[in-house]
Amino acid sequence: MHILFLTQVLPYPLDAGPKVRAYYVLRYLAQHHAITLVSFVRPSDSAEALGHLAQFCAGVYTTSMPRQRWRDAGHLLRSLPSPTPFLIARDEVRAMRTLLAQVIAGQPAFDAIHADQLWMAPYARLAQALGCGPRRPRLTLDQHNAVFMIPQRMGQDAGNPAKRLLLAWEARKLARYEIETCHAFDDVVWVTADDYTAVQRQANSSAGAVRNSGVIPICVDASAAAMRRRAPAPRITFLGGLHYPPNAEGVLWFAKEVFPAVRAACPQAILTVIGKQPPPELAQMGIPAANLEVTGYVADPSPYLQETGAFMVPLRAGGGMRVKILDAWRWGLPIVSTTVGAEGLAARSGDNLLIADDARSFAAATIRLLGDAPEGARLAAAGRQTLAQRYDWRTVYPLWDRMYPV
């Protein structure tokens, strides 16, 4: 098949969850089909990344994703009275529409159009309209998340009444938009059954059954060797893009509500926060410099991970799967997570990680990992076994053959 594959983030290097999902789906499909990749790019995306993707794609085409606060503010104001959610309106970029028209005009007819994440659904529908000839290309949507749940959960925890109201309004619009979009696609693949159930629950009162072409989890390369670890230091590590609000809010919650109890029990504990755009509030919490490392984006975090005694996933909002847990299992790290952080995964508290949802129990779990290296090693080994059995792309991704027959 000739497949047009649309992504909102360039799927390489593998330094974010959405990139990991798109990359291994691309890798699998490219073994059997001709893939034309069309993607937004950011200033940090490199020629080396494009060259890597070109090794297994028939063509790679990109256009810049503009991200400025003044643009976002304008999109927010325009979206308030509109049925279009802000998160969708923000990604309406004329240059992408132009690029798609050029790609479709210069290519043989596509058999299928693959929208990676909800943000690319409008472009997939546009591409289908532009490319409709004698044979209509089939539309597939890869639903990484039940997107409406992200602002919904953030709103539930928001202290500011205006912010709470705004997030609730965005969540309602996103729920309607997701339902309508799922009805417009021929196939909708879900990353977790929980996400499908959440969207279906929203649809029951208005639009009937939401399309479900199957659940295919995010997968990684489970064959990679575990990280060689030094003797674990009292290092508690968070790794993830802090431009994503649930990540930033989770880290701030841990620093404010959890870390004081951890420091009281383990005065040498080091809170290490790795990821781009860390929240400035972290530096204003009075945590001693000896107990806090905020690195920003790090291309190779292994020196920190090799000394990590507890890998934390303190998320209280979000949807889909947390790839950071798959990565930590692959690296051989012991994990403490909230229920939200571990949802959608074959995670069992006390077996392959620890789960805690309030500040007191999260602190106790973290202290437990810092003080009991054999227990951490046991959890980490069980996590790697779960990864190999459930989340290896080579064994799981033949499920995509249902949408794209070989």
Q: Are residues 127 and 19 in the same domain?
A: yes
**Confidence (pLDDT) at 228:** 77
95 and 181 inside one domain = yes
pLDDT at 103: 95
Based on the fold, state whether residues 370 and 398 are members of the same structural domain.
no
User: Helix and strand tally (H, E) in the chain?
Assistant: 17, 12
Asked if residue 38 is part of any domain, the answer here is yes
Q: Give pLDDT tens digits for 150-196.
A: 889 888 877 788 888 888 989 999 999 999 999 999 999 999 999 99
Half-sphere exposure of 349 (CA within 13 A, CB side): 15
Q: Which domain holds residue 294?
A: 235-390
Q: Is 249 helix (H, G, I), strand (E, B) or coil?
A: helix
Nearest by Cα to 79 from 169, 175, 149, 163 = 169
pTM of the model as a whole: 0.89
pLDDT (tens digit per residue) in 321-356: 889 999 999 999 999 999 999 998 999 999 999 999
Q: Give CA separation, 272 vs 56, 234, 306, 310, 334, in Å.
A: 36, 10, 12, 10, 15
Residue 289 shares a structural domain with residue 275 = yes
For position 17, which CATH number holds?
Answer: 3.40.50.2000
Q: Do 327 and 271 form a contact (C-beta atoms < 8 A)?
A: no
pLDDT of 319 reads 74
Average pLDDT over residues 22-36: 98
Residues 170 and 163: their CA atoms lie apart, in Å, by: 11
User: What are the pLDDT digits (tens) for 106-147?
Assistant: 888 899 999 999 999 999 999 999 976 678 899 999 999 999
pLDDT score for 133: 64
Query: What Cα–Cα distance (Å) separates residue 406 from each residue in 21, 35, 38, 359, 401?
Result: 21, 14, 22, 50, 6
Same structural domain, 76 and 110: yes
